[in-house]
Amino acid sequence: MGVEPEAELSMSELPEAVGIGEVSPIPEEKSERGIGDAPHLTPDFSVQDWGFDTVGIAFEIVPDAEFSLQALRSANTKHNALPPLIQPAAICDLNGAITRVNETEKGNWRLNLPFATVKGFPDFRTIYVEGRASALLERSSSARHLVKPADLDNVEMAALRIAWSVLGGTVFLPASPSRYRRWDLAVDVSNNGCPQEGVRALEAFSAVRLPYWCLPGVNRVKRRVDLLSGVRWPASGNLQFRIYDKGLEMGLPKHRVKGADGNQIKNPAARDPGHLLRLERQMRPTNPTQRMTTSELQAADLRHIWLGRWEGCLSAPSLTVCSPQATRLRLSALFTSERKQAAQAKRLIAESIAAAEGLPQGIYGDDQKLNNELMKLGIVQSKSLPAWQSVELQRLLHQAADVWPTNKTRPRASSAGTTGPPS
């Protein structure tokens, strides 16, 4: 049936309620992992703080320090009653009161203080003190600044005073130069750009395969698989290089502090993701000959120790992390500008595309060999970056490395004949 002509309405005669109004603009597509749309990024960071974070120092007690040795051997298990106060020597808290400690089957013990951990090894006449260097100096868990190498003498003395207090308050001199069983070299860098640039830089670092360490271990925020919290090379072990979001870590519940009203509040040091990153070298050598004294650490090439296997990345033309598409473009531009052999360019482009797609690589055989070949050109391929994205990381790595004192000769004057810490 047709519509009667008189029933037809022109658009001008339609009531206002029938109109659709203004059309809302189509929202822009959000890029992955909070990364901006810039095809190439050189993150803008500045060094905020650098120095030693956590340290662990072992003191060997001289045989004639009978009172201290007796206290070292008088561990009080949590299952037994405290010894009588008339006992001549016992493990004490910092106020001089006899306290309980956790004892192992071998007779070793552990005492947890608010700002440090103290361990006793009676069979080796050794007491070990571990904690943040700044916390040991101030005897406060709230001290979080990094300590410069020149202040390590004060850190060692502060740790020794803690050992004296725990072993009944009697002063003893170490039998030999005290050695560090752990030292963490940290650099805090603050993001001068938007937070997404910091998030993007951390995501780019997670794609870097260091020689012999392969891909790093990656930590992501719970219930936020798109947000990276930290990366470490190698994935496990006593010698690690870590890059993590320090501002994000300080926002965790375990770092809450008491407010003016006595209630737990968020730590003031907490920052949004991508604002504050920490690049940290953790050294916990298990080989006794690789442990160092205070004087050796102060005279060491700390830049070399901090970098470890990252040192090769600074000698490369660049350290540019690229998506598969950006890798292809960068290889094409590089070989065109340098007029390299076309066959080499085609081989690298084909192999990098095959790696990105998960296809077998006929020439290099595995991702690590391909990565080593790309690294010679200053390129790292990442499948986690959005299409056409690339991030230049060498500038940030240089900034963090150059704060450390360097010693090209790297002298190792040690009575124990040490050969220096492993890289």
pLDDT digits (tens, 9 = 90+) for 189-213: 999 988 889 999 999 999 998 877 6
- According to the model, what pLDDT value does residue 100 have? 85
Q: How much of the chain, in percent, has pLDDT values that exceed 70?
A: 80
pLDDT for residue 248: 87
Asked if residues 377 and 334 have their Cβ atoms less than 8 Å apart, the reply is yes
Rounded average pLDDT over 17-45: 55
Per residue in 80-119, pLDDT (tens digit) is 444 554 455 788 888 888 888 888 888 899 999 999 999 9
pLDDT, residue 95, reads: 86
pLDDT at position 393, please?
A: 96
pLDDT of residue 414 exceeding 60: no
Alpha-carbon gap, residue 185 to 147, rounded angstroms: 9
Residue 415 reports pLDDT greater than 70: no
Render pLDDT for 221-271 as a digit per residue (tens, 0 to 9).
877 767 888 999 998 888 999 999 998 888 887 778 778 887 888 888 888
Could you report the per-residue pLDDT of 278-303, keeping only the tens digit for each? 999 999 999 998 999 999 999 999 99
- pLDDT bin (cut points 50, 70, 90) of residue 423 is low
Mean pLDDT of the chain: 82
Give the pLDDT confidence score for residue 37 in this predicted structure.
Answer: 54
Mean pLDDT of 159-181: 92
| Per-residue pLDDT reduced to its tens digit, 319-374 | 999 999 999 888 888 777 666 567 777 888 888 888 888 776 666 666 778 888 88
The CB density around residue 18, as the number of other CB atoms within 10 Å, is 8
**Residue 377 pLDDT more than 70?**
yes
Structure tokens at 25: 């603009």
Q: Considering only residues 241 and 10, tell me which one the structure prediction assigns the higher pLDDT.
A: 241
Among residues 131, 151, 149, which one has the least CA distance to residue 141? 131
CA–CA gap between residue 323 and residue 38 (Å, rounded): 13
367-375 vs 342-357: helix crossing angle, rounded to 10: 130
What is the C-alpha to C-alpha distance for residues 181 and 130, in angstroms, rounded to an integer? 9
Q: Give the mean model confidence (pLDDT) for residues 379-386.
A: 88
Least confident residue range of 34-38, 62-66, 145-149, 247-251: 34-38
pLDDT for 15 = 44
pTM for this structure? Answer: 0.82
Kind of pairing between the strands at 390-392 and 109-112: unpaired
Residue 122 neighbours by CB under 8 Å, 6+ apart: 69, 72, 73, 75, 107, 108
- Cα–Cα–Cα angle for 202, 185, 59, nearest 5°? 145
**In the predicted structure, residue 409 carries a pLDDT above the cut 70:** no
CB neighbour class for 278 (10 Å; exposed up to 12, middle 13-18, buried from 19): buried
Mean pLDDT of 125-151: 95
What pLDDT score was predicted for residue 421? 64
Q: What is the pLDDT of residue 99?
A: 87
Which range is least confidently modeled, 65-74, 216-225, 357-366? 357-366
